[in-house]
Structure 1
Amino acid sequence: MSDLARPAPALSPMTRFGPDDAPRILAHLLMLDTDDRMLRFGHGIRDEGLASYVARLDYVRDHVHGLNDARGDIVALAHIAMHDGDVDFGLSVTRPYRGQGLGHALFSHVIAMAQRGGAARVLCYSISPAVLHMAGLHGFRRSGGNPAAPLALQLPSPAPASLSRSRAAA
């Protein structure tokens, strides 16, 4: 059966992961090959580095979300780090699940989380062609035309609470 004729697999709704999910997060990242790790992290990273990365995840400050397959394996993962009014993120989708829109779902989720968290902008440091393409589709731009600057998406300022209430009452 060709990939086009294969039905889409059943996946969980978007899930926020916590410390108890660290072994599954690590298993997901270990499935990434050398090229995928380079694209995801921007540098070569060995298994020990991935284990250290997962051990340092801050599940209170940051948001670690993703999708699971029917067996409970993480097949798509987003790490959203919020700091100083900015959000940066990393995305990964395991090879068998690519081309099914999961990266786009994660990307949209990152932007929505940034907006809900009151971030001023979302920064994209990725070197992945797929992520850079999605960033362009979502309106990310390099500030000042600087090719070395990260791609950034300026988010609209949230309306003051009093404005929101008066509009709702109108």
Structure 2
Amino acid sequence: MNATDLYPRKPGETGGLPPALTPAPAPKKKSTVFVKELSERDRYRILKHFLALKESDRLLRFGTYLPDEMITKYVEGIDFSRDKVFGVVNSHFKVVGVGHLAFAPREKLEHGVEATEKDRVAEFGVSVSDSARGKGVGSRLFKRGAIHCRNADVDTLYMHCLSSNQTMIHIAKKAHMEIHREYGEADAYLKLLPADAASMLKEAVQEQVATLDYTIKANKRAAVKWLESLPGMKSDD
């Protein structure tokens, strides 16, 4: 006896189990997202990432539309010795996600300044390329920024965005941040726990793994470019 004996086919059916008994397709497995701290050597790749953002995405990221000239000025002004910039690179060694963690005096907070006694707070901004959306890149960048703040003795993480920026609002709500909305803009605050041995180890391991992933992709890209330079050789990568 087989399935067709128990569930005879109707005229016109080609066979197989009834829809109710057909196994559901296996869910697609999300690729692992590695977040690495970027440096001066990555400035050009960061610039290319921002210049590739659409007008609407630039508006959401910066709160106003920035032309290419202003984007270039912003990237050129990033101080890697003061701020922290985290990034995600794809298999083609292109930056597809950037998280900028900027430190500022606590007086910058308009709401909740009394929540911290530390001398400084951290402001976080994130952008993700079209090709990398829906993969948890923004959330992973935020988590990396948050754990770095803990380990840098900063207990308040702050995000400012337009109220229409649903991606940032989603990240803020997911992290249980306190959100204040006013005049079409939103400020979100997250109180962080003090650093401990586990948080220190976690960040160190994440950076080591991400550095290995970054190095492999960089070497692969270098090999592809070398092959493309050979006469008669061309790669689709």
Q: Tell me the TM-score normalised to structure 2 length.
A: 0.59
What's the counterpart of residue 111 of structure 1?
Answer: 146
What's the counterpart of residue 166 of structure 1?
Answer: none
Q: How is 1:13-28 mapped onto 2 (pairs within 5 angstroms)? A: 13-28=34-49
The aligned length equals 153
1:56-99, Cα deviation, whole Å (9 max, x unpaired): 00101100111111121001110101223201011011001100
Q: Does residue 54 in structure 1 map to residue 68 in structure 2?
A: no
Gaps of 5+ in 2: 1-26, 106-119, 197-237
Runs (4+) off by over 4 Å: 5-11
**CA shift for structure 1 position 120:** 2.3
**CA shift for structure 1 position 110:** 1.5
Aligned partners of 2:151 and 2:194 also within 8 Å = no
Identity between Structure 1 and Structure 2 (%):
26
Q: How is 1:8-157 mapped onto 2 (pairs within 5 angstroms)? A: 13-84=34-105, 85-127=120-162, 128-142=165-179, 147=182, 150-157=187-194
CA–CA separation in structure 1 for the residues paired with 2:32 and 2:157: 30
Change (3 A) 1:54 1:146: closer
Aligned partners of 1:24 and 1:73 also within 8 Å = yes
CA–CA separation in structure 2 for the residues paired with 1:18 and 1:35: 27
RMSD: 2.4
CA–CA separation in structure 1 for the residues paired with 2:29 and 2:125: 28
1:101-124, Cα deviation, whole Å (9 max, x unpaired): 111111111111111111120111
1:119-167, Cα deviation, whole Å (9 max, x unpaired): 120111022211111101111113xx674662111223458xxxxxxxx
CA–CA separation in structure 1 for the residues paired with 2:85 and 2:181: 30
Change (3 A) 1:6 1:24: farther
**Letter paired with 2:64:** H
Change (3 A) 1:96 1:156: same
CA–CA separation in structure 1 for the residues paired with 2:104 and 2:143: 19
1:22-55, Cα deviation, whole Å (9 max, x unpaired): 1100000011000000000011100000000001
What's the counterpart of residue 168 of structure 1?
Answer: none
Aligned partners of 1:16 and 1:66 also within 8 Å = yes
CA–CA separation in structure 1 for the residues paired with 2:195 and 2:128: 31
CA–CA separation in structure 2 for the residues paired with 1:7 and 1:23: 32
The alignment partner of 2:168 has SS state of helix
Change (3 A) 1:158 1:76: closer
**Letter paired with 1:73:** K
Gaps of 5+ in 1: 160-170
Q: Which has the larger radius of gyration?
A: 2
CA–CA separation in structure 2 for the residues paired with 1:18 and 1:58: 9
